[in-house]
Structure 1
């Protein structure tokens, strides 16, 4: 187990972007304490390990249960995004292959006049987005507003809503929703 503790501590410390010296300072221990644990030269007591982890901060349970390498993709090239298009808009889904996604992130493109359709959308959760380029008319319930580059929206997605490009050129939006509906 000491082999795993040292390796795990080094991986967690690196994941949080901490040097051995910074972790030691935060935890109130010597640099050599961190170094000897990570080199697996000592097997720390539960109390000692808890003191070191307080410098991250992280509980013992989190330390032993955190999945340091899920094997899932983290970075996606433009070509990796799954495109959902219907001619009136294009939505490219980030992380489509991730198991148990709790968030939907889309890179949306609306041609001039493009929209989500006449039928208002209703789904559980929340939705937010930022207009990157162009003009987007956002309807949420009875409220309607035209948003431009840098403008954003955030609303309860259970309120009927829709999106429409009211500009002459293409409109680009980056949006997120939770829970993911697709």
Structure 2
């Protein structure tokens, strides 16, 4: 998916200049220009901040102008937008569902890849199940190693992160509420 071209299309459809979007979102005009030229790839949090200036959710952004689905309750592998980067694929199931109350992801970690700095949300819960590989999970400073079949259920108000510590690709199927992206 061409994130830069999509951002430009969304911005122009909402009749916003780069300067106006920068003012509304608190992101510099230069950064927006670089993203739209695909010279930099925004993080999920940066893209979310930009979209708040439109306003638009990440799910709406990734399903913007998507062709109507023939099977409205089925989300094929190729129809799941990838919100990840740096060796982490975050495949969002149900992205075009209006008013989603839950985020459901297939998280695929390359060897050594992780979710980055510990994440904290103002509210919510997250649960997941490791389907393959070995995942190191850190919650509020406590480290656990999860293997296939192991699951977790955590309050997202605690800092948490995940990292593949195995030699092979690892996968987690996860869900959280509220649907924060």
TM range (shorter): 0.5 to 0.7
Any stretches of 5+ residues in structure 1 without a counterpart?
A: 1-70
Partner in structure 2 of residue 104 of structure 1: 103
Of the three residues 120, 132, 135, the one matched with 1:122 is 120
Using the alignment, how far apart are the partners of 1:149 and 1:94 within structure 2? Answer: 21
Using the alignment, how far apart are the partners of 2:180 and 2:132 within structure 1? Answer: 25
Q: CA RMSD in A?
A: 1.4
* Partner secondary structure for residue 82 of structure 1: coil
Using the alignment, how far apart are the partners of 1:129 and 1:104 within structure 2? Answer: 11
Using the alignment, how far apart are the partners of 2:163 and 2:156 within structure 1? Answer: 16
Structure 1 residues 78 and 85, CA gap change in structure 2 (3 angstroms): same
1:139-178 aligned within 5 A: 139-178=138-177
Any stretches of 5+ residues in structure 2 without a counterpart?
A: 1-69
Q: Note the alpha carbon deviations across 1:24-72, whole angstroms, 9 max, x for none.
A: xxxxxxxxxxxxxxxxxxxxxxxxxxxxxxxxxxxxxxxxxxxxxxx98
Runs of 4 or more off by more than 6 Å in structure 1? Answer: none
* Partner secondary structure for residue 150 of structure 1: coil
Using the alignment, how far apart are the partners of 1:156 and 1:80 within structure 2? Answer: 29
Q: CA deviation at 1:88?
A: 2.6
Partner in structure 1 of residue 80 of structure 2: 81
Using the alignment, how far apart are the partners of 1:72 and 1:157 within structure 2? Answer: 32
Partner in structure 1 of residue 90 of structure 2: 91
Q: Note the alpha carbon deviations across 1:123-170, whole angstroms, 9 max, x for none.
A: 120000000000000000021100000000000000000000000100
Native 8 Å contact 1:136 1:165 kept in 2: yes
Partner in structure 2 of residue 133 of structure 1: 132
TM-score normalised by structure 1 residue count: 0.59
Using the alignment, how far apart are the partners of 1:113 and 1:94 within structure 2? Answer: 24
Native 8 Å contact 1:72 1:98 kept in 2: no
Aligned length: 111
